[in-house]
Chain A
Amino acid sequence: QAALTQPPSASGTPGQSVTITCTGTSSDVGGYNSVSWYQQYPGKAPKLLIFEVTERPPGVPDRFFGSKSGKMATLTVSRLQPEDEAFYYCISYAGSESWVFGGGTKLTV
C-alpha cells in the first residue's frame, strides 16, 4: 500500500494559480471517487478543503478546486493569498477498509 505521489513543493505569487497533483493507482485514486484534500499548518490539525474529488465543505473558499482524471487527482488554488502557504495532503480510499495519504506538498506563496 504505497503512498500516493505528490510533488514535495509548489510555489506561486499572490494572485496567481497553482496546481498540486496526487497520483495513485487503479486500486486507490483511479478506483474510487474518494480523493480528499487537507491543508495543514505546522503544528496544527489538518483542515478539510475538498472531499470526494470535487466537493467543498461549507466555509472553504471557492478558490480551492478539486478534480480527477484517471489515476491522478488535482488541487487547484486560484487567486493565491499569503495565508495559503501551508502543507497540502491528498488521501484516497484504497479498498478493503483502507486509506492512503499522499506524501504532502509544501506550498510557498
Chain B
Amino acid sequence: EVRLVESGGALVQPGGSLRLSCEGSGFSLSASSVHWVRQSPGRGLEWIGRMRNRANMNAAGYSPAVRGRFTISRDDTTNTAYLQMDNLQPGDTGIYFCGRSAVDARIRAPDFWGQGTRVIVSS
C-alpha cells in the first residue's frame, strides 16, 4: 500500500523556522518527484514547490511566495523528503501536504498525496 506521511507541523512564532518531513512507504521515493502544497484555513490549494528525482538532477522549483525562504530536500535512502521553512510569517499558516509523482516527467502532476501536517505561525 502506497503511503505518504507528513510530520513536523507545529506552532511557531513569526520569523521562526520549521522542518517538515514526508516519509513514503509502499513505493520507492527515489524514482519519484516530490511536491509540497499548502492549504490555508478555509482556502484552496497553493503550490509551494517540487523537487525532481536524482535522474533529473534533483531540480527544484518554488512559488514566488516562498522562494528564498523554503527549501525542499530529499533522502532517498530513507524514502523521505523534507521542507525546510525559514522566516515563517502568519500567512504561511495552513495544512502542508506532500505529494509524489511516480513518473518523474516534467509535466506530470502528483498522483498521490499524504494527509497533511498543520503549521501555525503566530505570536
Q: Which residues in A have some Cβ–Cβ distance to B below 8 Å?
A: 1, 3, 32-34, 36, 38, 40, 44-48, 51-52, 57, 87, 89, 91, 93, 96-104
Contacts and interface: CB of A to CB of B under 8 A. Distances in A.
Contacts of A102: 44
B106 A93 contact: yes
Interface string B36-64: 01000000111100101000000111111
Given A51-B109, A101-B45, A45 B116 contact: yes
6 tightest CB-CB pairs across the interface, nearest first? A97-B61, A34-B107, A36-B109, A104-B44, A45-B113, A99-B47
Contacts of A97: 50, 52, 59-61
A1 B63 contact: yes
B110 interface: yes
